[in-house]
């Protein structure tokens, strides 16, 4: 990236929803952003690193209600959990923004006003499908089976309400031009291509206000339409500007445009399509890079609270250490691809990369310097004997900036580790113990000093990823990790001055067995049972199955697959069941026939209609057949 020499850098994480507590997916985004921010500061760029929480919207309102709290009270509580976690993990953010902050609210209203005055916002009616979980609108053709959210798979709601719209379609051409002109505006390239093809399909104007709930930012008073609140994504994206004082005290606006917005692939569309369009409307420059990472799964499955497979980053850090966790997250997967979290893989990284390659190398250099030179290190003959090794190290170091600017943290660390391999191999090749025996003290010193210098250079470049470990190495080698030493040891490729090594405790310890609490393991075996489809008899008895008689049946309008049934289950009133069987049965042939019904299923809304149960059917590739009692039975007869 050509802008690597810029003077200021603004680096952001997404702001996290407060309807859930943090898990390793959130930690991943934050750790990468922290690494980029630390790197940026180290190389001398004035850096501003932002993180925070996203606190408005229907999802948060509902989560608060469930817990009997008001939304603000609830948001305060969860926002603090995020902030405390980042503090515990020593994330070097410069500001933690909350979308309930007064300055943010003012800034969002000012932006809305500006877009409105510009003619980019108009009032109309919105009718469509809304996924509360993703806070997103969809057209029916985008839905799975005409009903479910294409992003998260949950049921969508039909919404028809008055709404203000943002003229997204107006910016379609300008967006395509931007993608074309700025090669690295979206990284990695595969993700950029996805965005381009999405935009090429045509952009519809975006509904940016809601009237069906209250927990959001009101429209600016100049528009005077109190029943509307601003759509949560417009509100949330604006955090990147309001954190710099947009609309209030604009003293930090010179950090704009952002150097990099770090996001997960699931929220790339919002950042790579809506956000630049909003910015164009506000006459502001566009971010330099939007970098989208993949998802962390657990045993191949998406993590979610309901599945009980969420991993708490704090628990991992407490068990294995913050720095090994950081190293693992940054090293294990290629940027943009998904990764699977396993304790085994983490332990392997700790034992082999951290303990063997890095920790032991430091121990060896401390040990050799103690044994042969009373801890003294003198670099004066390193060049004489080890020009080749120094050149090789320089070649590795030269490659690092590109990796960091392309957010390829895995390749960055891989390259850095080549210097450690070089150092470890040099000990094997030159055998300092032999040199000492042969009285070649000058050569032995040159070698030990070479190792110390290779470690020092590694430590400086390791600092963004593992700041504490890097500082420990620097402490042993009597220098400080800072921009001056970065210039000296990396840019100018100089060597350490003479010094006395300080003996420090080992950097890492070898891990024998998995350390995460028993509770987790139990959960895992429970999950394994689930995976194999094994349930207990108690699980089975939780399902109430009954014989039902279909009394009424009709087609659901605008749906290719749904029928609306009224079923007699021997209860006071008939049950309404929405069933996806229209392709296989006509309403007429169903009336007065019997079916098997799951009677204690939580009611759900399907295409805006309440469904109070489910009928059983067998389905293969060719057809679907309803499961019916062999002989007629009284409506409501339990099935065992
Ligand atoms: N509030 C929005 C972002 C608004 S930014 C203007 C949001 N919040 S989130 O809490 O749901 O997600 C925040 C980030 O965490 C996203 O980048 C998302 O991709 C990331 N992750 C959430 N789960 C994840 C994994 N399992 N794995 C990796 N990252 C994932 O979206």
End-to-end alpha-carbon separation of the chain, Å?
66
* Candidate from 32-41, 136-145, 339-348, 619-628 with smallest mean pLDDT: 136-145
Q: Is 32:12 a contact under the CB 8 Å cutoff?
A: no
* Candidate from 302-316, 369-383, 389-403, 546-560 with smallest mean pLDDT: 302-316
The rounded distance, in Å, linking the Cα atoms of 117 and 479 is: 57
Order of all β-strands in the sheet with 594-598: 575-579, 563-568, 545-555, 594-598, 614-615
Q: Are residues 432 and 553 in the same domain?
A: no
Q: What are phi and psi for residue 297, nearest 5 degrees?
A: -115, 170
Residues ≥6 apart with Cβ < 8 Å to 159: 126, 127, 128, 129, 130, 137, 212
Q: Which atom of ligand 1 is nearest to the CA of 20?
A: 10
Q: Is 15 in the pocket of ligand 1 (CB under 6 A)?
A: yes
Instruction: Note the pLDDT of residue 2.
Output: 42
Instruction: Note the pLDDT of residue 5.
Output: 57
Under the banding of pLDDT at 50, 70 and 90, the label for residue 521 is very low
pLDDT digit string, tens, across residues 424-471: 999 999 999 999 999 999 999 999 999 999 999 999 999 999 999 999
pLDDT digit string, tens, across residues 198-224: 999 999 999 999 998 899 999 999 999
Q: What's the mean pLDDT in 557-561? A: 82
| pLDDT at residue 190 greater than cutoff 90 | yes
Under the banding of pLDDT at 50, 70 and 90, the label for residue 522 is very low
Under the banding of pLDDT at 50, 70 and 90, the label for residue 567 is very high
Q: Are residues 576 and 493 in the same domain?
A: no
Report yes or no on 476 lying in a domain. yes
Under the banding of pLDDT at 50, 70 and 90, the label for residue 529 is very low
Residues ≥6 apart with Cβ < 8 Å to 61: 71, 213, 214, 215
Provide the 3-class DSSP secondary structure of residue 261: strand
Q: Is 617:636 a contact under the CB 8 Å cutoff?
A: no
What ranges in 138-228 are assigned the alpha helix state H? 172-181, 189-200
Report yes or no on 184 lying in a domain. no
Q: Are strands 121-131 and 136-138 parallel, antiparallel or unpaired?
A: antiparallel
Q: Is 295 in the pocket of ligand 1 (CB under 6 A)?
A: yes
Query: What is the whole-number distance in angstroms between the Cα of residue 264 and the centre of ligand 1?
Result: 6
What residues are paired with 164 via a beta bridge? 123
Query: What is the whole-number distance in angstroms between the Cα of residue 306 and the centre of ligand 1?
Result: 17
| pLDDT at residue 542 greater than cutoff 90 | no
| pLDDT at residue 28 greater than cutoff 70 | yes
* Candidate from 33-37, 333-337, 522-526, 556-560 with smallest mean pLDDT: 522-526
Report yes or no on 376 lying in a domain. yes
Q: Are residues 347 and 477 in the same domain?
A: yes
Q: Output the residue whose Cα is nearest ligand 1's atom 29.
A: 25
| pLDDT at residue 520 greater than cutoff 60 | no
* Distance (Å) of CA 163 to CA 166, 193, 206, 208, 364: 10, 31, 10, 7, 68
Q: What's the mean pLDDT in 119-129? A: 92
Q: Are strands 46-54 and 8-12 parallel, antiparallel or unpaired?
A: parallel
Question: Residue 553 belongs to a domain with what CATH number?
Answer: 2.40.50.140
Q: Please, what's the b/e burial string for 612-630 (b: 16 or more CB within 10 A of its CB; e: otherwise)?
A: bbbbebeeeeeeeebebee
The rounded distance, in Å, linking the Cα atoms of 291 and 53 is: 19
Q: Is 416:358 a contact under the CB 8 Å cutoff?
A: no
What would the two tokens of residue 235 be? 């509100």
Q: Would you give the distance in Å from CA 520 to the centre of its chain? A: 22
Q: Are residues 481 and 397 in the same domain?
A: yes
Query: What is the whole-number distance in angstroms between the Cα of residue 181 and the centre of ligand 1?
Result: 28
Instruction: Note the pLDDT of residue 415.
Output: 98
Q: What are phi and psi for residue 475, nearest 5 degrees?
A: -65, -45
Q: Is 269:194 a contact under the CB 8 Å cutoff?
A: no
Q: Are residues 559 and 483 in the same domain?
A: no
Query: What is the whole-number distance in angstroms between the Cα of residue 248 and the centre of ligand 1?
Result: 28
Report yes or no on 382 lying in a domain. yes
Q: Is 54 in the pocket of ligand 1 (CB under 6 A)?
A: yes
Question: Residue 463 belongs to a domain with what CATH number?
Answer: 1.10.730.10
Q: Are residues 598 and 449 in the same domain?
A: no
Q: Is 359 in the pocket of ligand 1 (CB under 6 A)?
A: no
The rounded distance, in Å, linking the Cα atoms of 481 and 479 is: 7
Q: Are residues 483 and 347 in the same domain?
A: yes
Decide which of 481, 500, 519 is a domain's last residue: 500
| pLDDT at residue 1 greater than cutoff 50 | no
Query: What is the whole-number distance in angstroms between the Cα of residue 34 and the centre of ligand 1?
Result: 16
Q: Is 515 exposed, middle or buried (0-12, 13-18, 19+ CB in 10 A)?
A: middle
Cα angle, residue 206 at apex, residues 75 and 79 outer, rounded to 5°: 10
Tell me 144's DSSP state: B
Report yes or no on 201 lying in a domain. no
Instruction: Note the pLDDT of residue 306.
Output: 67
Instruction: Output 97 or 531, whichever has higher pLDDT.
Output: 97
What residues are paired with 340 via a beta bridge? 297
The rounded distance, in Å, linking the Cα atoms of 159 and 130 is: 6
Q: Are residues 549 and 474 in the same domain?
A: no
Q: Is 298 in the pocket of ligand 1 (CB under 6 A)?
A: no
Q: What DSSP string describes 287-335?
A: PSEEEEE--EEETTEE--TTTT----HHHHHHHH-HHHHHHHHHHHS-T
| pLDDT at residue 160 greater than cutoff 90 | no
* Distance (Å) of CA 35 to CA 49, 442, 476, 524, 608: 10, 39, 23, 31, 46
Decide which of 480, 500, 520 is a domain's last residue: 500
Instruction: Note the pLDDT of residue 525.
Output: 47
Q: What are phi and psi for residue 129, nearest 5 degrees?
A: -110, 135
Most confident range (mean pLDDT) of 138-147, 476-485, 569-578, 603-612 is: 476-485
Q: Are residues 444 and 554 in the same domain?
A: no
| pLDDT at residue 519 greater than cutoff 70 | no
Helices 409-430 and 382-405: crossing angle in degrees, nearest 10, is: 170
| pLDDT at residue 65 greater than cutoff 80 | yes
Query: In which domain, by residue range, is 573 found?
Result: 534-626
Report yes or no on 584 lying in a domain. yes
Handedness of CA 186, 187, 192, 193 (dihedral sign): positive
What residues are paired with 163 via a beta bridge? 124
Q: 636: closest CA among 535, 536, 555, 551?
A: 551
Q: Output the residue whose Cα is nearest ligand 1's atom 13.
A: 16
pLDDT digit string, tens, across residues 299-309: 777 787 667 78
Query: What is the whole-number distance in angstroms between the Cα of residue 498 and the centre of ligand 1?
Result: 48
Q: Are residues 574 and 622 in the same domain?
A: yes
pLDDT digit string, tens, across residues 237-262: 999 999 999 999 998 999 999 999 99
Residue with tokens 């309404």: 576
| pLDDT at residue 326 greater than cutoff 50 | yes
Q: Are residues 486 and 401 in the same domain?
A: yes
Q: Is 484 exposed, middle or buried (0-12, 13-18, 19+ CB in 10 A)?
A: exposed
* Candidate from 290-294, 502-506, 522-526 with smallest mean pLDDT: 522-526
Q: Are residues 543 and 424 in the same domain?
A: no
Under the banding of pLDDT at 50, 70 and 90, the label for residue 533 is low
Q: 302: closest CA among 330, 327, 339, 344?
A: 339
Q: Rg of the chain's alpha carbons, rounded to an integer?
A: 30
Query: What is the whole-number distance in angstroms between the Cα of residue 503 and the centre of ligand 1?
Result: 42
Report yes or no on 553 lying in a domain. yes
Report yes or no on 506 lying in a domain. no
Specify the number of domains making up the chain: 2
């Amino acid at each position: 990236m050509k802008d690597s020499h810029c003077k200021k850098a603004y680096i952001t994480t997404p702001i996290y929803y407060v309807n859930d507590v943090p898990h390793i997916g959130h930690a991943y985004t934050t750790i990468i952003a922290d690494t980029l921010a630390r790197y940026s500061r180290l190389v001398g760029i004035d850096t501003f690193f932002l993180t925070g929480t996203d606190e408005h919207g229907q999802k948060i309102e509902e989560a608060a209600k469930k817990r009997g709290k008001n939304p603000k009270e609830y948001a305060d509580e969860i926002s603090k959990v995020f902030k405390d976690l980042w503090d515990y993990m020593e994330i070097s953010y410069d500001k933690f923004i909350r979308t309930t902050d007064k300055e943010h609210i003012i800034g969002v209203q000012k932006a809305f006003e500006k877009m409105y005055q510009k003619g980019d916002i108009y009032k109309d009616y919105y009718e469509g499908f809304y996924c509360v979980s993703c806070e997103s609108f969809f057209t029916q053709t985008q839905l799975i089976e005409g009903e479910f959210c294409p992003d998260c798979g949950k049921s969508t709601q039909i919404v028809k309400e008055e709404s203000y719209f943002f003229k997204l379609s107006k910016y379609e051409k300008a967006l395509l031009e931007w993608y074309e002109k700025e090669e690295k505006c979206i990284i990695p390239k595969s993700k950029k291509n996805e965005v381009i093809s999405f935009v090429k399909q045509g952009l519809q104007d975006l509904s940016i206000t809601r009237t069906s709930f209250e927990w959001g930012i009101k429209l600016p008073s100049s528009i005077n339409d109190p029943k509307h609140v601003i759509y949560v994504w417009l509100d949330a994206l604006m955090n990147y500007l309001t954190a710099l004082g947009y609309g209030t005290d604009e003293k930090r606006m010179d950090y704009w445009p952002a150097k990099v917005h770090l996001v997960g692939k699931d929220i790339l569309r919002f950042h790579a399509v809506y956000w630049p369009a909003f910015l164009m409307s506000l006459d502001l420059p566009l971010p330099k890079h939007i970098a989208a990472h993949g998802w962390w799964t657990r045993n191949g499955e998406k993590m979610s609270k309901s599945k009980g497979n969420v991993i708490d980053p704090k628990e991992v850090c407490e068990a294995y250490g913050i720095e090994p966790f950081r190293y693992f997250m940054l090293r294990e997967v290629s940027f943009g691809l998904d990764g699977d979290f396993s304790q085994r893989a983490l332990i392997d990284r700790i034992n082999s990369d951290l303990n063997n390659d890095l920790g032991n190398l430091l121990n060896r250099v401390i040990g050799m310097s103690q044994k042969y030179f009373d801890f003294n290190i003198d670099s004066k003959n390193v060049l004489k004997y080890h020009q080749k090794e120094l050149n090789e190290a320089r070649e590795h170091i030269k490659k690092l900036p590109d990796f960091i600017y392309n957010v390829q943290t895995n390749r960055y660390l891989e390259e850095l580790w080549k210097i450690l391999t070089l150092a470890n191999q040099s000990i094997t090749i030159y055998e300092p113990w032999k040199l000492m025996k042969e009285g070649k003290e000058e050569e032995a010193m040159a070698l030990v000093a070479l190792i110390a210098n290779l470690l020092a250079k590694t430590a400086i470049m390791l600092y963004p990823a593992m700041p504490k470990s890097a500082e420990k190495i620097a402490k042993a080698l009597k220098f400080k990790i800072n921009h001056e030493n970065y210039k000296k040891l990396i840019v100018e490729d100089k060597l350490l001055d003479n010094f006395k090594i300080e003996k420090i405790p080992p950097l890492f310890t070898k891990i024998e067995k998995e350390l995460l609490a028993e509770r987790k393991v139990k959960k895992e075996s429970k999950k394994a049972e689930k995976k194999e489809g094994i349930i207990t008899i108690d699980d089975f008895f939780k399902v109430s199955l009954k014989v039902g008689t279909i009394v009424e049946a009709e087609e659901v309008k605008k749906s290719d697959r749904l029928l609306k049934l009224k079923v007699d289950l021997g209860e006071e009133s008939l049950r309404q069941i929405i069933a996806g069987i229209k392709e296989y049965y006509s309403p007429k042939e169903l009336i007065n026939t019997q079916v098997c019904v799951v009677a204690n299923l939580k009611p759900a809304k399907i295409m805006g209609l309440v469904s109070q149960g489910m009928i059983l059917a067998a389905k293969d590739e060719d057809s679907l057949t309803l499961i019916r009692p062999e002989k007629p039975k009284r409506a409501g007869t339990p099935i065992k």
